[in-house]
Structure formats: C-alpha cells, structure tokens
Amino acid sequence: MNSEKPPIPVFIPLFIGIIAISFSSIFVKWSSSPVSVQAMYRLVITVLIMLPFAGKYLPAAKSLKRSEVLLLILSGAMLALHFLLWMGSLTWTSVASSTIILALQPVFVMIGAYFWFKEKTSLAAIGGMAIAFLGVFLLIGSSGLSGSAGHLTGDVMSLLGTAAVAAHMLLGQLLLRRLPSFLYSWLVFVVAAVILAVYNVGMHIPLAGYSAREWGIFALLAVVPTVFGHLLFNWLMKYASASTVSMSVLGEPVGASLLAFLLLNESMSTLQAGGGALVLLGLVFFLKVGKPKKGAVEVQPEGLG
C-alpha cells in the first residue's frame, strides 16, 4: 500500500465508487436507445471530460511503435465489444445475473495471463475460480430451467462480454509499460468510441434524434460510473493497495442488484441467489489468495460496467 496519507478516509471514496458503478446497469435499463448508441456517447462524453487533462500526456503517445498502435486499436475494439455484449445482455437478463457474471473479470484476466504471459497462480486461487464458475453455471442453468431463452441469451452475452473486457485489460498490461495510465485510458476510449460509431453507421443505427431524457442518460453513464466510479478507483490506487481497490468488483453486483430491486422491481429466484452467492464467495477467496506477483503491472477495470 502507498504510505501517502489520503485527504479523506479511503472508505468514503471507495463507497462512493461502488455506488457509482452500481448505477451503470440501471441507466442502461432506463434507456430506450440502442445499446451501441448508449456505449458510443458514454465514451464520447467521457473523452471530452478527460480532454482538458490529456494534453500533457500526449507527447508520450508519439513514441509508440506501430505494433503498439495496433495493440491499442485491438484493446479499444475489445472494449467496444465488451460494451456491446454486456450492455446488450441487460436487454435479455436481470441486472443481478449480468453484473454477477461481469464480476468474474479478474478470473478471466488471471486465466489469460497464464496462457499469454505464463504467469503462474496457486492451487488455492484455482479453487476460488472453480467455486466462482460453479456459481455461474448455476446462474445460467437456472435461466435455462426457467424456460426463458432470453435470460439464457443475456447470461451468455454477459459471460462473453466479460471475456472481451479481460482481453482488453491484458492488452492494457502490455501498453501500460510504455504509456501513463490516464493516457492509455483516454486513447482506448477514443478508439472504442470510433469503432462504435463505425458500427452504428454500418448497421444504419441513427446517431441523432434522441430525446432530452436519452441524452441525459448518456451523460449519466459517462459521469456517474466512469468518472465517479472507475476513474475514482484509479485515484484511490495512490492511497490504497490494489487488492483493496480490486475488491470493489464484488460491490457492483451487490449494489446493482439492490438498486434493481428498488428501482426496477427485479428479484432473483432461490437458484439464482445461490449461484450468485457462490460466484461472490469464489471471488472473495480468489482475490484474497490470487494477488499479482511483485513487480507485475496491475490494470484497473476502466471498461467495467
């Protein structure tokens, strides 16, 4: 942990950040716009908010090699795919199921790091993974048993979206060896926004003509879960350990499920609740015993939720 003393107690911004990212799925559910448009404008507005602070970092971008530029584009593509799949999953399945599955992101990153970077992990961490994935199978299985093909589709989309954001973060682990974290986030947001814009144009999805309410939701998606969520977590890394901040991934499904119950009248079946509890239990164990090795680059989840 950084020995620098925070200006306010760490638990205050941590709590604010968890509540902020928990609202992401609620905003998506409230919107009637295509998810690709929601994602695009969320990123565009975020890029504009970050722009005044990006200038001093831009010279570092000029030193990027062609291969690194390609990796940056691929990372942005994975982030765009994550938004399309995860935000799209909320059209089909519940907030609780989608966000619980999304919380598996650290596990996917660990699996990818094993195959890509040959990073070893402990048997205890693998046990945590197994418990978490058993919970996911229960969640997906309960969707199938309910007879709702839509819920099953949404759960699978969330799982694939989680794999996409894990790939995005693994690519970030490579690029952060050369780029400041803020600049990497800003550039990858730009790339993802452009890719989503091309997707919308190619699919003949209107980019304009949305109501003031929809534009308000686009802005809320940018400001609340991104600025007061993920960027706040990045700031917290100055004062708290990475493992402490990473535990916030467990707060999102809990907070989002509670908000969905209160604001959307969504509830969970007993089997879904059991599966969700197993996922969170497995993740708690995994995050406790599967800490990165000393010297490894740690990537914050700027694309989550």
Q: How far is 63 from 212, CA to CA, in rounded Å?
A: 41
- Exposed, middle or buried by CB within 10 Å (0-12, 13-18, 19+), for 248? buried
- Does the pLDDT of residue 194 top 90, yes or no? yes
Please report which helix (H) or strand (E) contains residue 241, including its range. Answer: none
Look at residue 297 in the predicted model and tell me its pLDDT: 46
**For position 113, what pLDDT does the model report?**
76
With residues binned 3-state (H G I as helix, E B as strand, rest as coil), the percentages for the chain, rounded to 5, are: 75, 0, 25
Answer whether 0.85 is exceeded by the pTM: no
pLDDT value at position 100? 83
Report which of residues 49 and 280 the model is more confident about: 49
| Residue 66, pLDDT above cutoff 80 | yes
pLDDT digits (tens, 9 = 90+) for 249-276: 677 887 888 888 889 888 777 777 787 7
State whether residue 179 is helix, strand or coil. coil
Lowest model confidence (mean pLDDT) among 22-36, 207-221, 238-252: 238-252
Tokens of 4: 């620098």
Q: What whole-number distance in Å separates Cα of residue 105 and Cα of residue 119? A: 17
Q: Which of 59-68, 89-98, 141-150, 170-179 has the lowest mean pLDDT?
A: 141-150
